Amino acid sequence: MNERGCPPLLGEPFPHVEVESTLGKLTLPDDYAGKWFVLFSHPGDFTPVCTTEFVEFQLKSDEFKKLNTQLIGLSLDDVFAHMKWMEWIRDHFHVSISFPIIADQLGKLSMQLGMVSPNLSSSTVRTVYIVNPKGIIQLMLNYPPSVGRNIDEILRVVKALQVSSENGVATPVNWPNNSYLGSQVIIPPPRTVMAVEKRVEEAQQGDVQCLDWWFCYKPLNE
């Protein structure tokens, strides 16, 4: 919980915690300083939807690594259940889970992060936290136990967050496949009269493209 006694919000630091995982003790977010990480909870080991999610996360793990991003799973199961489930996945899907899975048996971290919804289940729901290299929370998602996540969308969001933070831009809906802008990015609107005048000049000179002074865009890295 944060100082308000509720789960942390976007833009706040990820809480400092020490946890047990299938790869040993972890200290979050310290162990991943300088890297992005995706922490995702699942309702339980040896459940069908969760199994399909973990297989897909592992199949996409190299793409996350290319983005300097670590995957971390979590549920209320103990570490022995995690490891046995990993063996079962390997034997039946021929996929070896390489990322750590946190064993939050007492539910301390899950409650702290708002991953348990008593109205739905006594287990963790399908929560996703994306945290930047400075340990700041950039995104939070919650799915019910009955709906599996779209791993491609989580990968897309990591890319979009990195592009936004590294270039000081915003990304349009469905980026990089927006129906109007394609893979171009949006320049934040000017916030003073002087900045508006400068933006208009930039548009007239062809430095940026604009539909209006508050709606300007450009190709990435230009």
**How many residues can be counted in the chain?**
222
Task: Return d(Cα 145, Cα 167) in angstroms, integer.
Answer: 36
**For the chain, what is the radius of gyration of the CA atoms?**
20
**Cβ atoms of 39 and 132 closer than 8 Å:** no
Q: Which two tokens stand for residue 23?
A: 């790869």
Reply yes or no on whether 50 is catalytic.
yes
Say which residue the tokens 């287990």 belong to.
123
Measured CA to CA in angstroms, residue 57 lies from 2, 70, 118 at distances of 29, 11, 26
State the DSSP H helix or E strand holding residue 88, giving kind and residue range, or none if neither: helix 79-93
- Which entry of 6, 50, 210, 216 is annotated as an active-site residue? 50
| Catalytic (active-site) positions | 50
